[in-house]
Every structure is written in C-alpha cells, then in structure tokens.
C-alpha cells in the first residue's frame, strides 16, 4: 500500500465519523441517548421527527458504530456505543461555543426570556445538598430519572409540573436540572416555578456533566 493510498483510506474513515455527526437531529439523538437507552418511538417524540426519519438517522449512527441496538418484541432500542461518543459530542459543543458567538447569544436570549439566567455550579449544588437547604428537581422523563439522578432529587417531569406544584414546598429554594447545558426542560421549569412564586434556579449543566465530574449518582 502506497503512502497516499494509506492516508486517503484513513482520513476517509475519520470523515465518515464526522459525517455521522453532521445533522442537528443526529446530534440531538446522541445528546438524549446519553441519558439512557431509548426505543425509536420515544426518540421520535423527543426530537420532534417522524418515526421513519428518526429510524434513518439511527441507521446512519449505527453504520458509523456510534450507537448499538437491540430488539425486544416489535420495539428496537438504541444506546450509545460507549462514552467516547458522548465525549466527542461534548468536544464539538465546546469548539462551537468558542468559535460561534451566535450560540452564546441565542442561549442568553432563551434563558433571559424564561427568567432562567440564575444558575449554580455542581460544586455549589453538592454543598447545598449536604446542608439540606435546597430542593433538587429532576424535570427529565421518569425513565431517565430511573436510569440515574442526583442524590436526593425528586422526579417531576416538565409535562407534569403544573399539576404537581403542590408537591414542592415553597419555603426552600428549588434547583432544577435536566440533560445538559442546551436542554430546554429546566429553563421551562424555572419559568413555571418563578411565575408561581417559587425561588428557583437551575444547575448550569446536566446529569452527564455531574457524573463526569465524579459526583455521586443514584439509580432506582
């Protein structure tokens, strides 16, 4: 094999992986699958895409060996192949944030509209959990909470929050968290809580970053 042929073959494989990442919906799928295994129907609903389109995106990811699948009855479940996939996605986020000013502007505008600019760090939240002076609210879907959550957190999915506000005491600050820094669930929860008179803030990142930093994670 000639040197040029070798380089062309190797770099084509790198390009194939990059191509699998080159879709907003596929990136969103990777972001969601870091929370745990999902079937195609659930993923379709969560990324607001048709079942057929979601299946096609998953096949691209599977061809690039970024996800794995298993069949249970008529349902097909997918998960990330390993943590390297999510780490690559995190690296891409970091690069884009440092190069594209519009990302910071869009995030700031979105959070400001929902009174969700106030965020606390992982370290501060852990300290306050140990002091027992904060209510930690997980607003992700229940199956994601069951797969892993911050110790002591209560699970109230965003879709149920308005109907279950009576379960949250108003005499303590609430810190909501979800999937990560670009997840919309916790900012939406902050708006609901603030409108109802709660003192509420959000965790600046999500459960994957919490886990990556070495903090404890509980499972049901």
pLDDT in tens, 113-122: 887 788 999 9
Torsion 90-192-45-100 (CA) sign = negative
- CATH fold for the domain made of 106-212: Oxidized Rhodanese; domain 1 (3.40.250)
Q: How far apart (Å, rounded) are the C-alpha atoms in residues 148 and 194?
A: 26
Residue located via tokens 């992986």: 17
Check residue 68 and give its pLDDT.
98
Q: Which of residues 67 and 104 earns the better pLDDT score?
A: 67
Can you give the residue ranges of every domain in the chain?
A: 3-86, 106-212
Is 73:58 a contact under the CB 8 Å cutoff? no
CA distance 47 to 173: 31
Render 93-151 in DSSP notation, one character per residue. Answer: HHHHHHH-HHHHHHHHHHHHHTT---EE-HHHHHHHHHHT-EEEEE-S-HHHHHH-B-T
**82 token code pair:** 């390993």
Quick one: average pLDDT of 77-102?
96
The catalytic position among 60, 66, 178, 190 is 178
pLDDT tens digit sequence for 152-200: 999 999 999 999 999 999 999 999 999 999 999 999 999 999 999 999 9
How high does pLDDT run on average in the chain? 95
pLDDT attached to residue 12: 96
CA distances from 173 to 17, 119, 168, 197, 216 (A): 43, 12, 10, 11, 21
Band of residue 139 on the pLDDT scale cut at 50, 70, 90? very high
Fold match between 3-86 and 106-212?
no
Q: How many CB atoms lie within 10 A of CB 147?
A: 16
How confident is the model at residue 83, as a pLDDT? 94
**pLDDT more than 70, % of the chain:** 100
Per mean pLDDT, which range of 80-84, 105-109, 172-176 is the poorest? 105-109
Q: Which CATH number fits domain 3-86: 1.20.970.10, 1.20.1560.10, 3.40.47.10, 1.10.10.10?
A: 1.10.10.10
Q: In which residue are the tokens 């990442």 written?
A: 21
- Mean pLDDT (whole number) for 85-97: 95
In the predicted model, what is the mean pLDDT of residues 130-146?
95
Residue 178 among the catalytic residues: yes
């Amino acid at each position: 094999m000639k040197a040029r042929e070798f380089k062309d073959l190797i770099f084509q494989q790198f390009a194939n992986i990059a191509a699998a990442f080159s879709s907003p919906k596929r990136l969103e799928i990777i972001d969601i699958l870091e929370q745990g295994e999902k079937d195609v129907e659930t993923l379709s609903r969560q990324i607001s895409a048709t079942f057929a389109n979601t299946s096609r995106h998953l096949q691209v990811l599977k061809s690039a060996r970024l996800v794995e699948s298993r069949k249970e009855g008529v349902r097909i479940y997918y998960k990330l192949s390993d943590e390297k996939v999510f780490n690559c996605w995190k690296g891409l986020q970091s690069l884009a944030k440092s190069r594209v000013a519009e990302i910071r502007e869009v995030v700031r505008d979105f959070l400001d509209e929902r009174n969700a600019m106030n965020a606390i760090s992982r370290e501060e939240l852990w300290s306050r959990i140990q002091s027992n002076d904060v209510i930690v609210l997980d607003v992700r879907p229940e199956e994601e909470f069951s797969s892993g959550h911050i110790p002591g957190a209560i699970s109230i999915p965003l879709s149920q929050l308005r109907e279950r506000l009576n379960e949250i005491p108003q005499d303590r600050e609430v810190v909501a968290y979800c999937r990560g820094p670009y997840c919309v669930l916790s900012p939406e929860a902050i708006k609901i809580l603030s409108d109802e008179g709660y003192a509420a803030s959000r965790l600046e990142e999500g459960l994957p970053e919490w886990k990556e930093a070495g903090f404890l994670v509980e499972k049901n």
